[in-house]
A = this chain, B = another copy of it.
Amino acid sequence: MTKLNLSADEVLTTTRAVRKRLDFDRPVEMSVIEECLNIALQAPTGSNGQAWHFVVVTDQDKKDKIAALYQKAFAAYEESPVQPTKLHGDDPSMKETQERVLGSAQYLAANMARAPALLIPCCTGRIDTPNLPAIALSSMLGSIVPAVWSFMLAARERGLGTCLTTLHLNYEKEVAELLGIPDDISQIALTPIAYTKGTDFKVAPRKPLEGVLHTNNW
């Protein structure tokens, strides 16, 4: 592993959702994953609670089983109204991007088991406890997602690709049983971890800030 020596801004603007450019044939050292996780631990948590857990799956049989559940969830997602090509219907300029996102996601779903490692970040407590107020949800998720994104950014600096997914949560219970995750723990996401094919990633096209920035008044 050699670091890419990206600047802060470069890593923040070129850490893409990597799917087709994951190199499934190159092993990933556990030491690099741990290095990224140690950086992730520097992310903030509410009241400095640090109520997080990180499950790394490298066992092929377990990856196969998780990937099979992911594929099942993906098949339903493809038919759902939140699928990429169903969004931004009001903006024809987004059509091509959304079709590319879907194609890329289909590729990942078909190949998830080939990733050298899968990371499932978790937080303590159930986020789906009935009637949790918005503040509890923002506080719980806001105390794990920064660490997840830090992990992905640190991974990018080390030539690794990641992609934040949530579809396996449709089978969270099955995955919890497979990995021995306790009942009072919430899985938050799943990302494959693999070195990338090449390290030249471009800034993504995004809808302009003007449409989503509100100063003093909505």
Check if A166 sits within 8 Å of B128, measured CB to CB.
Answer: no
Residues of B within 8 A of A156 (CB): 8
Check if A8 sits within 8 Å of B157, measured CB to CB.
Answer: yes
Residues of B within 8 A of A133 (CB): 128, 169-170
CB contact between A47 and one of B87, B209, B215 (< 8 Å): that residue = B87
Report the separation of the CA atoms of residues A17 and B142 in the bound assembly, to the nearest whole angstrom: 13
| Interface mask (A95-122 → B, CB under 8 Å = 1, otherwise 0) | 0011001000000000000000000000
CB contact between A216 and one of B9, B62, B186 (< 8 Å): that residue = B62
Residues of B within 8 A of A212 (CB): 41, 50, 52-54
Residues of B within 8 A of A14 (CB): 42
CB contact between A146 and one of B34, B46, B164, B182 (< 8 Å): that residue = B164
How many chain A residues touch the partner (CB < 8 A)? 96
Report the separation of the CA atoms of residues A181 and B148 in the bound assembly, to the nearest whole angstrom: 28
Q: Is A196 an interface residue (CB 8 A)?
A: no
Interface residues in A177-198 (C-beta closer than 8 Å to B): 179-182, 186-189
Shortest C-beta distance, A75 to chain B (Å), equals: 15
A residues adjacent to B (C-beta < 8 A): 3-17, 30, 34, 37-39, 41-44, 46-50, 52-59, 62, 82-84, 87-88, 97-98, 101, 126-128, 130-135, 137-139, 141-142, 145-146, 148-150, 153-154, 156-157, 163-164, 166-167, 169-170, 172, 179-182, 186-189, 203-204, 206-207, 209, 212-218
* 17 residue pairs bridging A and B, Cβ less than 8 Å apart: A8-B157, A12-B42, A12-B154, A14-B42, A43-B149, A48-B97, A49-B82, A52-B212, A54-B214, A62-B216, A133-B170, A134-B169, A135-B170, A142-B188, A145-B149, A179-B218, A180-B217
